[in-house]
Amino acid sequence: MKRDRRVKILATLGPSSSDPQTIEKLYTAGADVFRINMSHTDHPRLHALVAMIREIEAKIGRPIGILADLQGPKLRVGTFEGDAVTLENGASFTLDSDKTPGNASRVHLPHREILQALEPGHRLLLDDGKIRLRVTSCTKTSAETVVEVGGKLSNRKGVSVPDTEIPVGALTDKDRKDLDAALEANVDWIALSFIQRPDDLADVRKVTRGRAGILAKIEKPQAIERLSEIIDLSDALMVARGDLGVEMPLEQVPGLQKQIVRACRRAGKPVVVATQMLESMITAPVPTRAEVSDVATAVFEGADAVMLSAESAAGQFPVEAVATMDRIARQVERDPNYRGIIHAQRQEPEPTGADAIAAAARQIAETLNLAAVVCYTTSGATGLRASRERPSVPVIVISPVLSTARRLSLAWGLHCVVSDDARDENDMVDRACQISFQEELAKPGQRIITTAGVPFGTPGSTNMLRIAFVGSDGRGGL
């Protein structure tokens, strides 16, 4: 099955989509990668979901990506005497290390690391930003605040500290166990929540050791400040607009989305736009016009993927949500303005032989109106370079490594095929032409361009281009 679009779709699995029949329907409707949210998934369920996806993958014959999303540190206040209090604007309110139930003047904050990092002037956002406090004075065990925006606050509501860098890593004890379980299950991507600094990624990379790609979720101001370093150390990024919109002013999120997408495109790293894309489809069979426009904007920007969260995980219309996102994306990519916008944001290739060849392949394919660009890759780097170019013709990635093909299913425009590596140059051309023909991306008489590395089977050695005709039997010829 080939997709009639370049942007990819991530679909989150959950109560509405945890059986094989629904997961297969989601794939058929357009899902390219499945997200398993470890905030709500235990290890037996994780292994069961991965097994279901792999069975569907074998049945369909297409590589499917799986992303395990680690929960990250969840910061919450303690409990109250009556389960809830109302904080008045201008009132004083204390957060402290006293475990006794709170009242309208204080509450326990069971996170000593926050209390030790707060400074006067820092903000605390409670209950998804509905309540805003500002620190007036603090010690290592308590923080005096003034209520700037009050309201009802109940037990164990979330706490965000946008002005404070917390001196702990992004991995909790639960995350470490979940990471080990995800790697044991052979997932393709690990998503890290609440990244603050590049060191957070380095810690995880020591554990993964290349067994899965690392996707950094950008949802804190501290991550924005060190974005370039985080991009360098990650394999992909996610614009996690939910928490980003809590920790930063909402009106800044659209601009940050563009900034992150363009920075990732420059670096050739896949980027996912996520959160509330078709939120109304949790309970309705059709989205709002604004949601359609939101998805379209991400596609016009050239994002590698767009993601569904509760819409596919817990909504009433999971398959319809994926199908709707698929239709929006295909329509945008047919829009007469689309290619011009994508071309205008294209970056100059990096000064390496492999990047120059990827750029040349794209230019030759567009100039000669070739049927497809075909890339041979073992590590996936050549495929990502081809994706970075955002060519107007289809890109077929041939890899002898199944895990590489699965991982590349997240990247823009890549149609991944698992096949043995080429034995020699003639075999390379024949195999590329046959696969292009079999995958219905090239017809007899059309030409394709192939990139590969000599000697064959050597990762990172992309150094040649070949143009070939697809013969009447699907084989290649000069």
Catalytic residues, by residue number, are 35, 76, 217, 275
Q: Check: CB of residue 171 under 8 Å from CB of residue 204.
A: yes
Task: Please return the burial class of 474, using the count of CB atoms within 10 Å of its CB with bins 0-12, 13-18 and 19+.
Answer: middle
Q: Which of 59, 57, 69, 36 is nearest to 416 (CA)?
A: 57
Q: In what order do the strands lie in the sheet with 372-376?
A: 414-418, 395-399, 372-376, 447-453, 462-470, 476-477
**Rounded-to-integer distance, Cα 103 and Cα 80, Å:** 6
User: 9 - beta bridge partners?
Assistant: 306
Question: How many CA within 13 A on the CB side of residue 100?
Answer: 4
Nearest 5°: the CA angle 62, 63, 66 is 135
**Rounded-to-integer distance, Cα 349 and Cα 368, Å:** 20
Q: State the DSSP string of 111-157.
A: -HHHHHH--TT-EEEETTTTEEEEEEEE-SSEEEEEEEE-EEEETT-
Q: Which of 364, 365, 392, 370 is nearest to 447 (CA)?
A: 370
Beta-carbon count within 10 A of 275 CB: 20
**Rounded-to-integer distance, Cα 95 and Cα 109, Å:** 6
Contacts of residue 111, defined as CB under 8 A and 6 or more positions apart, other chains included, come to: 75, 159
